[in-house]
Structure 1
Amino acid sequence: MSEVHITARALAALLGRWRTDDEAAYRSLAGRIRLLIVDGRIPAGTRIPAERDLAERLDVSRTTVTAAYRELRDSDYLESVRGSGSVAQLPGARPGPGPSSAFGYLDFSKAALPADPRLVEAAQRAALKLPHYLDSFDYDTIGLPELRAAIAERYIDAGLPTSPDEILVTLGAQHAIGLIARTHLSRGDRAVIEHPTYPHAHDALRSAGARLVPVAVTTDGGWDTDELEQAIDRSSPTLAYLMPDFHNPTGATMPAGTRRRVCRAAARQGTVLVIDETTAELDIDRGTPFVPFAASDDAGAKILTIGSVGKTIWGGLRVGWIRADRGVIRKLVAARSVGDLGTPVLEQLAVLELLPEMDAILAGRRRQLAATRDRVEEILADRLPHWDVPHVQGGLAIWTSLGAPVSSQLVLAARSQGLLIAAGPRFGVDGAFERFLRIPITYAVGDTERALDALAGAWQSIMRAPVPDAALLSEMV
């Protein structure tokens, strides 16, 4: 029985503009739900709304929803489960044989590096130290003093004075984003967010009831400084979520002058700046050292910085942190117990073991990212020369322009080639970015070559015979 479900209201929001003029309503509805399942916005195993509930929410006949669900069952995107209704699935799902596979597919839906090999020995050393903490620590809602001091020291080394009591250790970056959203936003508050953006940040702000104010970020120009400053001045947002170093998914880095102007605008309006620096140290050949965003502040802006080891050491090591002033840290700690009772001590000890080795870890990551980035550029230039492939200087992915609004269609076709990858709209609002595809550069070169072969084959297939969703995808742009 499925334990996860999506309400009719939430599904209607995800569907957006699903109707088309040149095909039956049930086919348009089925096509849009299928894209959401393939794209991961409706995860496999999720129970979808009852036919009657969705029909009422969409203001269509129940017959339309029934026919759409039937088509999805016939194509194995839905499974009828006794007592649970209809549950989303990926056709032919089987456990994969290796770490780069999911359900029998090569999984490029995430931009995540494999675990650093130093992790195993660090975890063993941490386990040996654990007995010293068994009597004094249990529910640790703020973080081990030693770890907070070590994180603060890294900020000091990067040019930003920080004390340990300005650090809160969290269950990864996503936990930090959600905690900040819950404590700083009320329903109806405005929040500036980059467009495209990290999708889970978008989801967290929406879940907190924020009214989003999108600000464009592009691969060639990054942020329009005037537009970003005006968005803060004109909308007086409560919060602004920004990823200024190797922005996900575009790879852009914000210039120093833009950072200072953003800080001044935020100080004028009382806007909280939430700065995601989880990818900030993953430069390949930027040529300049990492400087924390908060070091640019000369106006007294309220800045909450998010960091994590998930992008540098391993995503399975769920340790992140928030850097903020002491009053904010106290507020966050007080609110945290509603959702969790702290970060596991053993994982904190493992991170504490690894922080002294971060320079060597990052050097290895840069070599790996450089090799994969260069190979992606080489293959795409040869196999798909009409795609616009920007040269990124760091980060985890390449935000590629396809030249046509077919990203979700391409993702569907890639699945038939054995590849799972996230479509452009996963990073946008209301179906935007159908002309773009995020290609991770975090996987081994061999797996990346296989993935690009699958993409090339999928591209050829949709160019020869576009699937029935083509009209829908054009409508979504």
Structure 2
Amino acid sequence: MADAQLTARSLDALLGEWRGDGAHYQALADRIRLLVLDGRIPIDTRLPAERDLAAHLALSRTTVTAAYRELREAGFVDSVRGSGSLARLPGPVLTAAPPIGGDGMLDFTKAALPAAASLPAAARAAAEELPHFLPDSGYDPVGLPHLREAIAARYRERGLPTEAGQILVTVGAQQAIALIARTFLGRGDRALVEMPTYPHAIESLRLAGARLVPVTVTAAPAAGAGPHAVGDDELSDGWDVEAVEESIRRTNPALAYLIPDFHNPTGASMSPETRIRILAAAASQGTIVVGDETTAELDIDRVGERLPIAAYGVREAGDAPVILIGSASKSLWGGLRIGWIRAERPLIRKLIAAKPATDLGTPILEQLVVARMLPQMREILEERRVQLRAGRESVRRLLASHFPDWTVPELRGGLAAWVGIGAPVSSALALGARSHNLLIAAGPRFGLDGAFERFLRIPITYSEDETARALAALARTWSTSLHAPIPYPDPASLADVV
């Protein structure tokens, strides 16, 4: 039996704008294939019956039959008697498209920096500290006391009074999101989320049983960066605050997941006024605000200070709390799987009680490394600022050279640019790029129901050479693959982290 079933209406929503100039059966097969590869159609999901899908898409049944046959022959669909057509990933017999260039696959699905320069020394010092902790069991569900104090001190430096007892250390920010969702959401509760947003947060909220309430975030284009550019004086912070307030009042969400600083993927940052108004609206409805700050300190040249979003709320008895999520992975290194939650003590106690259901402790050695590095954050962030500024300029220059009509947003910090590509072909572009040695996440990976086909997230975290190779691969794909059938990639080469 299939785990889930897609109706023709649901699949139509996921497909988005899929029709092109070529054969409809090929375009339909290509789009369903991408949805399976990206995980938007889970494995073992039952696809709509051919007759139902043909009627809903206003196609002949012959066209849908040919698309399903193409998917079956490539191993993306398995027809099981009594269960219909089930989504699959091809086995090892699949032959990957021959790579072009021979330099290896570039993975631009990850917007992440290499390790900070001070990490090796911190790791050696932490290893020397480790014997002090070996007589204990090694299971640490809360976090080492001196690391919790170092995290609290960092919040105090940023203008938010915090004590060590308000910190819970987690295995990365992703565990923090999942833990908060599982603890404070019940099945059927509404959760407000920005669109587009961090895909793995959507997954965590859905796994907790939440019904998602989307609110739009936009990225302002940079002055002089294309035909749709605007001047700096016209830039907004990306949030329609009145629409957010109305959504909170109308749907009464139990939780709101927000990325207020260098939003993933748009790069937008909330103004102080927007933060104040959203927190006030949430407090009036009893909505818990979760501020994901994993990119908050990756400033390049943002104008004006931004305190942590929790600092903008005027708390009164009965107000809904603000929970902050932080991480060492974006600023220090992705291989350091250390994150944390900052909240009021009663909520921290509740989260500690819920944590052992999925995790019995955070690695001691990695905590020791992070505790060594946090006091050096000013120097580390300056190092990151130099790296990100260079990456931003490389992306801007190379995009202007290869794609002068694309819209590049104003980017004051963060890890990636949310680029407008001018046509609803992001999925086809991402899929075709795989045959040119490039993995890149399509715009709909960051949305719901096939939205954002006119956008592509391009990281600014890679070297000049890697960025040049990636954009050259996109240019080849843009000029060729969008007008011809796209070769099937080997699914083993696909990345799960975005």
TM-score band w.r.t. shorter chain: 0.7 to 0.9
Matched, 1:244 2:240: no
Matched, 1:453 2:472: yes
Q: CA deviation at 1:263?
A: 1.1
CA distance in 1, matches of 2:156, 2:290: 19
1:293 alignment partner in structure 2 = 309
CA distance in 2, matches of 1:224, 1:126: 46
Q: CA deviation at 1:163?
A: 0.6
Give the AA of the match of 2:465: G
Matched, 1:196 2:196: yes
- The 5 A counterparts of 1:461-472 are 461-462=480-481, 465=483, 467=485
1:475 alignment partner in structure 2 = none
2:205 alignment partner in structure 1 = 205
Q: CA deviation at 1:287?
A: 3.5
Give the AA of the match of 2:147: L
1:113 alignment partner in structure 2 = 113
2:357 is paired with a residue of what secondary structure? coil
Matched, 1:270 2:275: no
2:382 alignment partner in structure 1 = 363
Structure 1 7/425 Cα, relative in aligned 2: closer, same or farther at 3 Å? same
Matched, 1:134 2:140: no
2:223 alignment partner in structure 1 = none
Moved more, 280-289 or 21-30: 21-30
1:49 alignment partner in structure 2 = 44
Q: CA deviation at 1:458?
A: 1.3
2:353 is paired with a residue of what secondary structure? helix
Structure 1 341/369 Cα, relative in aligned 2: closer, same or farther at 3 Å? same
Aligned residues: 448
Q: CA deviation at 1:92?
A: 5.1
Structure 1 113/451 Cα, relative in aligned 2: closer, same or farther at 3 Å? same
The partner residue of 2:396 within 377, 384, 387 is: 377
Give the AA of the match of 1:277: E
1:281 is paired with a residue of what secondary structure? coil
Give deviations 1:263-304, integer Å, cap 9, x for gaps. 111111000000000000001111434421111112444100
Structure 1 171/468 Cα, relative in aligned 2: closer, same or farther at 3 Å? closer
Matched, 1:255 2:271: yes
TM-score between the two structures when normalised by the length of structure 2: 0.82
Q: CA deviation at 1:137?
A: 4.5
Structure 1 360/58 Cα, relative in aligned 2: closer, same or farther at 3 Å? farther
CA distance in 1, matches of 2:166, 2:50: 46
Q: CA deviation at 1:110?
A: 1.2
Give the AA of the match of 1:212: L
CA distance in 2, matches of 1:183, 1:447: 41
1:437 is paired with a residue of what secondary structure? strand
Matched, 1:7 2:3: yes
CA distance in 2, matches of 1:65, 1:326: 56
Q: CA deviation at 1:361?
A: 1.2
Structure 1 374/92 Cα, relative in aligned 2: closer, same or farther at 3 Å? farther
Structure 1 262/57 Cα, relative in aligned 2: closer, same or farther at 3 Å? farther
Moved more, 268-277 or 137-146: 137-146
Unaligned 5+ segments in structure 2 are 55-61, 80-85, 221-235, 488-498
Query: Does structure 1 conserve the Cα–Cα contact (< 8 Å) formed by 2:191 and 2:257?
Result: yes
Give the AA of the match of 2:89: V
Give deviations 1:114-143, integer Å, cap 9, x for gaps. 122322221121111111112235211110
1:437 alignment partner in structure 2 = 456
Give the AA of the match of 1:187: R
CA distance in 2, matches of 1:460, 1:56: 35
Q: CA deviation at 1:203?
A: 1.1
Q: CA deviation at 1:35?
A: 1.1
Over the matched positions of the two proteins, sequence identity in percent amounts to: 56
Q: CA deviation at 1:73?
A: 6.0
Query: Does structure 1 conserve the Cα–Cα contact (< 8 Å) formed by 2:77 and 2:87?
Result: no
2:450 is paired with a residue of what secondary structure? coil
Give the AA of the match of 2:260: P
Give the AA of the match of 1:87: L
Unaligned 5+ segments in structure 1 are 470-477
1:218 is paired with a residue of what secondary structure? coil
1:281 alignment partner in structure 2 = 297
Structure 1 86/326 Cα, relative in aligned 2: closer, same or farther at 3 Å? same
Query: Does structure 2 conserve the Cα–Cα contact (< 8 Å) formed by 1:397 and 1:439?
Result: yes
Query: Does structure 1 conserve the Cα–Cα contact (< 8 Å) formed by 2:295 and 2:330?
Result: yes
TM-score between the two structures when normalised by the length of structure 1: 0.85
Structure 1 27/382 Cα, relative in aligned 2: closer, same or farther at 3 Å? closer
Query: Does structure 2 conserve the Cα–Cα contact (< 8 Å) formed by 1:77 and 1:89?
Result: no
Query: Does structure 2 conserve the Cα–Cα contact (< 8 Å) formed by 1:15 and 1:32?
Result: no
Give the AA of the match of 2:442: A
Matched, 1:308 2:327: yes
2:360 alignment partner in structure 1 = 341
Matched, 1:34 2:33: yes
Structure 1 117/15 Cα, relative in aligned 2: closer, same or farther at 3 Å? farther
2:124 is paired with a residue of what secondary structure? helix
CA distance in 1, matches of 2:163, 2:306: 19
Give deviations 1:158-181, integer Å, cap 9, x for gaps. 111101010000010110000000
